[in-house]
Amino acid sequence: MNLTSTNFYISVEQLNNLAISSIQGLTPALEWDENEHNFAILDCFEQSLRKSRRLLLAIDEQVELLTEEGVILSQHVKPNTRFVAEFEEGPVKKALADLSPLRALLTIASGTMKTGTLILTDDEEKTCARAKLQKLIPANGKAVVLVTPQGLRGYDQALSDLTTYIRTHGGTPLTAGNLYRMIDHSCVNYVSKPAIEIHPEETVFDTATNLIATYLPVVRANEYGVIHDLDTEFLHDYRVSLRKIRSVLSLLKGAYDVNQTLQLKMRFSALMAPTGALRDLDVYLLEQASFYTLVPHTMHAGLDAMFSLIADRRMEEQARLAAHLKTHRYKKEIKALVKLFSKKHKLKPGPNSSRASHDLACELIWKRYRKICRLAATINVATPDEEIHALRIECKKLRYLMEFFGIIFPQELFDSILKSLKQLQDSLGLFNDCSVQQLSLQSFVDGLSDEQHRFIITQSVGSLITILHQRQFAEREKIMNAFAHFSSDRIQRSFRTLCQNKKEL
């Protein structure tokens, strides 16, 4: 049996040089198979696989996963499989269970592949070590060879010599370098939540401008995926980034001139507006499986009919949004905004623009926390949904504020507060989802004209709404518990320390 060790990548030229001279007295030789294969390197948009030091290759109708430990897993895969969930059961699917199920596998590079072997033989021409070679020749980009040294039992020294030789002669361990960059220099590293450096003494104006200038490229990076409907996360990230920008404008009050702030808010809202309908439909479809588990089998036919209608509507809505993002008007507007925040000279300072960011952050976070405590103290079983919804919005604003300024606060204290806030938000989120879903299911049914299946859809939706209502009711209690923790003395003390003991920070 062969033993596997580190995987490397190397340029074609450097590989050829490897085979020129002897390696610790062993003779190297390169052998290439005549057959060519099709290959594609697959990864999510955030390059989650590369960042977790793995490589996923589609080779003809197989997928091969090179794990961080150097193990190669493989299994059959149907052509055009885009999500891990669509894989047949197998070792690769199992090993990819940690990837977001919402993220599509995109092609980073594709082309033809040749396989071969680098063999080290002794003076008896006995093989003492080999390396499996996969020469990737992308349609666009630079060819590169994946090298997987394979030891033979009883020849540990030869394997160690071969591995060292590869490492010192141009081989980069797959877990250490960026293979994608080697193939294509322009390969972009997308981060949905970029880290932003804020200096405590930085002005409010600079902080707000930095934050917006950082989130705008995230908005732009997601356009392609939305237009080509690669997966639903593109639109989600697109909207989250826009929402964060709007929050900067509304939460960091006085960073810019009042009129300009108002105008900017309107411009960003206008960008957001055409995306809402598609996101709502996406959420429905993402919830599809869970809806089926909520109602009895007899109600499934109605859900089938409903989701088929929703899928049709989603297709129309997606086409509409894609067309919008391709218009000259949209492109001109987004480019103008990017320019405004990168050049800065047309941004007009507002009343708070020259204050230190840290001071304002402390003030805003403390005020917001107090407000949430006041609001939440009144919550009981009879509180109207709208009030809980208002509490949810306040929490979201606090969360954004804390995330914007997280970097300037002491890590440990900050994390413990954030954890408690997240727990509260999770409950509020579930509560709100149940509430929103009931309303939107109701309006969906109301909006049905004489469409076919109207009766069975109404019946199934009725049953669904009842269950969602029960769920929402149960969630109310959890919110009260989560809040009790969030407003406890300990968390209050933490917030006070964070926001008021400025000298200690």
Partner 1 sequence: MQIVACYSNKGGVGKTATTVNLAYAFAASGRNTLLCDLDPQGASGFYFRIKPSQKLTEARFFEDAERFVKSIRGSDYDNLDILPANMNFRDFDIFLSHMKDTRSRLKKALKAVKNDYDVVLLDCPPNISILSENVFRAADAIVIPVIPTTLSQRTFEQLLEFFQQHDLSTKRIHAFFSMVQGAKTLHGEMIVELTRNYPKQIMAAKIPFASEIERMGITRAPVLATTPNSPAGKAYQALFDELIERI
Reduced to 3 states, what is the DSSP secondary structure of residue 28? strand
Residue with tokens 């997606």: 318
Based on the shown chain and the rule CB under 8 A, indicate whether residue 2 belongs to the binding site for partner 1.
Answer: yes
Q: Are 92 and 75 in contact (CB under 8 A)?
A: yes
The 10 Å Cβ neighbour count of residue 288 is: 13
Q: Give the burial class of 169: count Cβ atoms within 10 A of its Cβ; 0-12 exposed, 13-18 middle, 19 or more buried.
A: middle
Stretch that binds partner 1, among 12-20, 125-133, 166-174, 383-391 (CB under 8 A): 125-133
Stretch that binds partner 1, among 52-60, 132-140, 152-160, 445-453 (CB under 8 A): 152-160
Binding-site member from 5, 14, 75, 127 for partner 1 (CB under 8 A):
127
Based on the shown chain and the rule CB under 8 A, indicate whether residue 296 belongs to the binding site for partner 1.
Answer: no
**Complex with partner 1: residue 126 or 348, whichever CB lies closer:** 126
Q: Are 326 and 227 in contact (CB under 8 A)?
A: yes
Based on the shown chain and the rule CB under 8 A, indicate whether residue 141 belongs to the binding site for partner 1.
Answer: no
Binding-site member from 1, 97, 139, 273 for partner 1 (CB under 8 A):
1
Q: How far apart are CA 471 and CA 321, in angstroms?
A: 33
Binding-site member from 20, 79, 153, 345 for partner 1 (CB under 8 A):
153
Binding-site member from 9, 39, 87, 155 for partner 1 (CB under 8 A):
155
Q: How far apart are CA 62 and CA 78, in angstroms?
A: 8
Based on the shown chain and the rule CB under 8 A, indicate whether residue 126 belongs to the binding site for partner 1.
Answer: yes
How far apart are CB 26 and partner 1 at their closest, in Å?
13
Stretch that binds partner 1, among 147-155, 366-374, 448-456, 473-481 (CB under 8 A): 147-155
How far apart are CB 173 and partner 1 at their closest, in Å?
23
Q: Are 248 and 404 in contact (CB under 8 A)?
A: yes
Binding-site member from 34, 89, 124, 504 for partner 1 (CB under 8 A):
124
Residue type, 458: T
How far apart are CB 159 and partner 1 at their closest, in Å?
10
**Complex with partner 1: residue 104 or 120, whichever CB lies closer:** 120
**Complex with partner 1: residue 124 or 504, whichever CB lies closer:** 124
CA dihedral 16, 20, 23, 29 (to 10 degrees): 70
**Complex with partner 1: residue 1 or 273, whichever CB lies closer:** 1
Sequence-ordered list of residues with C-beta below 8 angstroms from that of 50, at least 6 positions apart, any chain: 43, 178, 179, 180
Binding-site member from 125, 197, 386, 412 for partner 1 (CB under 8 A):
125
Site for partner 1 in 84-123 (CB under 8 A): 122
Residue type, 313: R
Nearest in space to 108 (alpha carbons), one of 135, 145, 138: 138
How far apart are CB 68 and partner 1 at their closest, in Å?
19
Q: How far apart are CA 241 and CA 338, in angstroms?
A: 13
Structure letter (DSSP) for residue 188: -
Q: How far apart are CA 473 and CA 211, in angstroms?
A: 38
Q: 232: which 2 tokens?
A: 């639903």
**Complex with partner 1: residue 157 or 488, whichever CB lies closer:** 157
Binding-site member from 20, 34, 154, 450 for partner 1 (CB under 8 A):
154
How far apart are CB 4 and partner 1 at their closest, in Å?
11
Q: 19: which 2 tokens?
A: 């085979």
Binding site for partner 1 (CB under 8 A): 1-2, 122, 124-127, 151-155
